[in-house]
Amino acid sequence: MVIDHTESFLKCFAELTGASYEKMKDYIVNNNPLNIINHPYTNAFERNVIDKIQHLKEFYASYEVLKNAENRDLRINSTEVAKDYFLSLLGNLKEKERILISYLDAGQKIIETAVVSEGTVNESAIYPREIAKQALFNDCMSIIIAHNHPGEALNASKEDIALTQKLIDVLAPLNIKVLDHIIVAGKTAISMMEKGLFPSHDPNNGVRRVVER
């Protein structure tokens, strides 16, 4: 890939991060200039330079998320759309776990997507009654949960299934459906519904019943 104005790009980059301009110029003779950002270790920069490049990369990821979040008319009408949507919001988040909930209207259009927790998925991080309050406030018909695994493990943990079960049980009496729980790991995502790990509503709110396909 050839970048227009490569020269000024490299100069800005060098001024900002302290990376050696000459080293980068040599590097791009045979390599894609964007690799300097995407794979900073290949250039053997100093530690503080690499840190700045990583921050810049994360800053760009946030910028992309903001741009994607501007797309408010999105309709989540399939698992693939849901996976793509949450990948765009969580795919670049490597340093921490973030839990999102999208509140959907009757046509499965997103009313709001909110960050409900950052940290780990466990009972102390998520209060289903607060989610229920927010769901009623948004006047939604259904929700989709999503979170990322910073360690890039592409599987649903017991805690992920338990959280989903709890939300299903709390929201079912309000006629609000939990449609899916998407787990994002790096550049891929899985749907618990698609994987057959999605729990069914337990009216007794006791024994978990995981539907195994």
Q: What are phi and psi of 114, to 5 degrees?
A: -120, 145
CB of 151 to another protein, least distance (A): 20
CB of 174 to another protein, least distance (A): 17
CB of 2 to another protein, least distance (A): 9
Q: Among residues 9 and 172, whose Cβ is nearest to another protein? A: 9
CA distances from 114 to 5, 19, 89, 98, 151 (A): 38, 37, 11, 10, 22
Q: Among residues 17 and 165, whose Cβ is nearest to another protein? A: 17
Q: Give the type of residue at 161.
A: I
Q: Among residues 62 and 78, whose Cβ is nearest to another protein? A: 62
CB of 117 to another protein, least distance (A): 5
DSSP 115-163: EEEEE--STTT--HHHHHHHHHHTT-SEEEEEEE-TT---S--HHHHHH
Distance of alpha carbon 187 from alpha carbon 164, whole angstroms: 23
CB of 190 to another protein, least distance (A): 21
Q: Among residues 1 and 29, whose Cβ is nearest to another protein? A: 1
Point out which residues bind another protein (CB under 8 A). Answer: 1, 3, 5, 8-9, 12-13, 15-17, 34, 37-38, 51-52, 55-56, 58-60, 62-67, 69, 89, 98, 100, 112-118, 125-127, 130, 134
Q: Among residues 9 and 84, whose Cβ is nearest to another protein? A: 9
Q: What are phi and psi of 9, to 5 degrees?
A: -60, -50
CB of 99 to another protein, least distance (A): 9
Distance of alpha carbon 178 from alpha carbon 169, whole angstroms: 9
Q: Give the type of residue at 34.
A: L
Q: C-alpha dihedral over 185, 186, 187, 189, to 10 degrees?
A: 10
Q: Among residues 16 and 153, whose Cβ is nearest to another protein? A: 16
